[in-house]
């Protein structure tokens, strides 16, 4: 059983309608690592629906969270907004300076992220936390937390192992300057929290309005109850021993709601560079990724991996390998057979679940016969005009008639990837017009004889992938040369490298006369 289907089964045993949630703080540009939480939650939600369990998926935006510091992409003038809720400060302009005409800081970073989610088939019910506070929906839970503040303090200190400040209070009011920082609570008279801020100004905040917010550990537990959340995956920072998940569970019960079971996911890392971090700049954005990768493959990257395992992401070979794996599954979905060992049954069921959950929409037939990702990468590099790509695809049988809009979009994305900074150098292909002399000199006499024989035979053979592949094998036998040495010679002459894509696939895209002369004159 796939991990999302297993989670859905556990939720169904809980009984009643389910609410699956994920959340995010819009403090800066989002990266593909954020998709792990969101897609994990969305796939569990889909798993519930597929089991006939009533379920909703909500995406909570922590827009009441304060600006923590002036990030590298912001102008120093943002110093004045540190401690202010992200929903209440202006968005940065292209120069990094605050520009109120662009709307709020939170919306500025949230809106493009929601568009990228839609592109991968995720259209959640969006909950803006500042609007929830402003609506008064949290009033009773804030009041209950204040009434039980000593018990909550005890839970946090005991489980987290840290001492809270003597001024700690389960509600942080906004001071006279609009900041949550440096504000001390001096009293409580429902619905007002009395305070004195760092400027010596005294005032009061109405818990029925967005005049303040609960600290994270209390806020998280309170909203589980408010929204009836039954499942919320969290990163290992929140899920570690003594973390906010561990304190949230008893706080939630104290506030009258049975919490979701603890569910922790590992991070997505940029291979060789560690976990992604918006503040450090070690990121690849979702929109940036979707300019490269078909959305089904992005989803598959998450779906195929257990939540407890981290994902090494890069835009090089890992992308090709993931696409190859996905395309093999689409072409030949595994069958779960009762007469096979349990291990194989589990693997087949898991793979089928990953394939199902990788689709952008539920209950839509899986589209087979798409142009392979790797093959399109090859054509996009050696065919400068789109029409030449379509012509090649028709000859190879990958396309009949005119290309669909989806295929045109895939090609445009592929060209953007190839021309951008993320395309792996080892995957770049350029067909040689004249053999590189240094590469020719690196070959021995047997390899040169093989290449020249192959060049002469190319003049007459049928111009197809399979025929050229057979010709290569026959020529190796005639010239008494091993496959390794033979292919090394082909790649050395053809693309000036020691390896590359499938040789016959590469060669069939070349002009017969030019290729024959290139090999024969090497």
Q: Render pLDDT for 442-474 as a digit per residue (tens, 0 to 9).
A: 999 999 999 999 999 998 889 999 999 999 999
Neighbour tally for 139: CB within 10 Å = 16
Per-residue confidence (pLDDT) for residue 26, from 0 to 100: 93
Structure tokens at 156: 């946090």
β-sheet bridge partners, residue 56: 19
Phi-psi region of 496 (alpha: psi -120 to 50; beta: other; left: phi over 0): left
User: What's the CA gap between 87 and 128, in Å, rounded?
Assistant: 9
Place of tokens 């770049």: 428
Share of the chain above pLDDT 70, in %: 95
Task: Report how far residue 31's alpha carbon sits from residue 42's, in angstroms, rounded to the nearest whole number.
Answer: 17
- Over range 40-54, report the average pLDDT: 96
| C-alpha dihedral sign at 223, 224, 225, 230 | positive
Contact 348, 32 (CB under 8 A): no
| Cα(413)–Cα(411) distance, integer angstroms | 5
Question: Which of 3, 82, 93 has its CA nearest to residue 43?
Answer: 3
Name the CATH code of domain 437-520 (choices 1.10.357.10, 1.10.10.350, 3.40.50.620, 1.10.600.10): 1.10.10.350
The CA distance from 392 to 397, in Å, is 9
Least confident of 92-101, 121-130, 259-268: 259-268
SS3 letters for 189-244?
Answer: ECCEEEEECCCCCEEEEECCCCCEECCHHHHHHHHHHHHCCCECCEEHHHHCCCCH
pLDDT digits over 289-348, tens only? 777 778 898 899 999 999 999 888 777 778 888 888 998 999 888 888 888 888 888 888
Res. 197 pLDDT band, cuts 50 70 90: very high
Q: How many CB atoms lie within 10 A of CB 3?
A: 22
Q: pTM surpassing 0.95?
A: no
CATH of domain 1-161+215-360: 3.40.50.620
pLDDT in tens, 2-22: 999 999 999 999 999 999 999
- pLDDT at residue 286 above 70? no
Please, which residues have CB within 8 angstroms of residue 16's CB and are 6 or more apart in sequence? 54, 230
- Give the per-residue pLDDT at 280: 45
From the number of C-beta atoms within 10 Å of its C-beta (0-12, 13-18, 19+), residue 422 rates as: middle
Q: What is the distance of C-alpha 282 from the center of its chain?
A: 14
Where are the domains positioned within the chain? 1-161+215-360, 373-427, 437-520
Query: What would the mean pLDDT of 488-513 be, rounded to a whole number?
Result: 91
pLDDT in tens, 131-180: 999 999 999 999 999 999 999 999 999 999 999 999 999 999 999 999 99
| Span 117-132, average pLDDT | 94
Each residue of 113-122: b (16+ CB within 10 Å) or e? bbebbeebbb
Q: How far apart are CA 303 and CA 497, in angstroms?
A: 35
Q: SS3 for 267?
A: coil
Q: How far apart are the first and last CA of the chain?
A: 56
């Amino acid at each position: 059983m796939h991990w999302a289907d297993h989670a859905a089964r556990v939720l169904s045993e809980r009984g009643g309608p389910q609410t699956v949630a994920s959340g995010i703080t819009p403090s800066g540009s989002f990266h593909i690592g954020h998709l792990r939480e969101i897609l994990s939650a969305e796939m569990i939600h889909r798993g519930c629906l597929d089991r006939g369990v009533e379920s909703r998926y909500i995406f909570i935006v922590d827009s009441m969270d304060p600006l923590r510091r002036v990030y590298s992409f912001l102008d120093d003038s943002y110093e004045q907004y540190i401690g202010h809720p992200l929903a209440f400060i202006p968005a940065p302009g292209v120069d990094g300076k605050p520009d109120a005409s662009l709307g709020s800081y939170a919306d500025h970073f949230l809106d493009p992220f929601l568009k990228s989610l839609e592109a991968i088939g995720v259209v959640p019910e969006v909950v803006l936390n500042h609007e929830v506070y402003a609506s008064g929906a949290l009033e009773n839970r804030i009041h209950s937390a204040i009434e039980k503040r000593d018990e909550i303090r005890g839970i946090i200190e005991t489980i987290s192992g840290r001492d809270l400040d003597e001024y700690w209070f389960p509600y942080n009011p906004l001071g006279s300057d609009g900041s949550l920082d440096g504000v001390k609570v001096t009293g409580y008279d429902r619905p007002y929290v009395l305070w004195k801020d760092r400027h010596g100004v005294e005032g009061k905040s109405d818990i029925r309005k967005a005049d303040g917010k609960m600290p994270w550990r209390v806020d998280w537990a309170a909203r589980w109850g408010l929204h009836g959340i039954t499942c919320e995956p969290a990163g290992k920072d929140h899920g570690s021993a003594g973390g906010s998940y561990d304190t949230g569970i008893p706080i939630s019960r104290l506030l009258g709601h049975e919490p979701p079971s603890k569910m922790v996911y590992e991070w997505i890392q940029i291979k060789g560079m560690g976990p992604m971090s918006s503040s450090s700049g070690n990121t690849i954005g979702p929109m940036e990724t979707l300019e490269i990768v078909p959305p089904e493959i992005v989803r598959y990257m998450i779906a195929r991996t257990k939540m407890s395992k981290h994902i090494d992401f890069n835009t090089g070979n890992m992308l090709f390998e993931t696409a190859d794996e996905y395309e093999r599954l689409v072409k030949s979905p595994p069958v779960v057979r009762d007469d096979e060992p349990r291990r194989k049954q589990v693997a087949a069921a898991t793979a089928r679940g990953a394939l199902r959950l990788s689709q952008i929409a539920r209950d839509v037939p899986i589209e087979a016969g798409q142009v392979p990702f790797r093959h399109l990468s090859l054509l996009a590099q050696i065919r400068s005009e789109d029409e030449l790509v379509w012509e090649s695809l028709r000859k190879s049988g990958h396309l009949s008639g005119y290309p669909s809009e989806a295929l045109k979009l895939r090609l445009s994305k592929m060209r953007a990837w190839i021309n951008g900074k993320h395309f792996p150098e080892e995957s770049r292909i350029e067909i040689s017009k004249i053999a590189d002399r240094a590469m020719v000199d690196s070959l021995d006499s047997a390899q040169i004889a093989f290449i020249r024989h192959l060049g002469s035979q190319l003049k007459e053979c049928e111009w197809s992938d399979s025929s050229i592949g057979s010709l290569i094998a026959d020529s190796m036998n005639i010239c008494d040369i091993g496959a390794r040495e033979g292919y090394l010679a082909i790649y050395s002459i053809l693309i000036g490298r020691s390896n590359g894509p499938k040789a016959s696939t590469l060669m069939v895209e070349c002009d017969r006369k030019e290729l024959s002369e290139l090999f024969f004159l090497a």
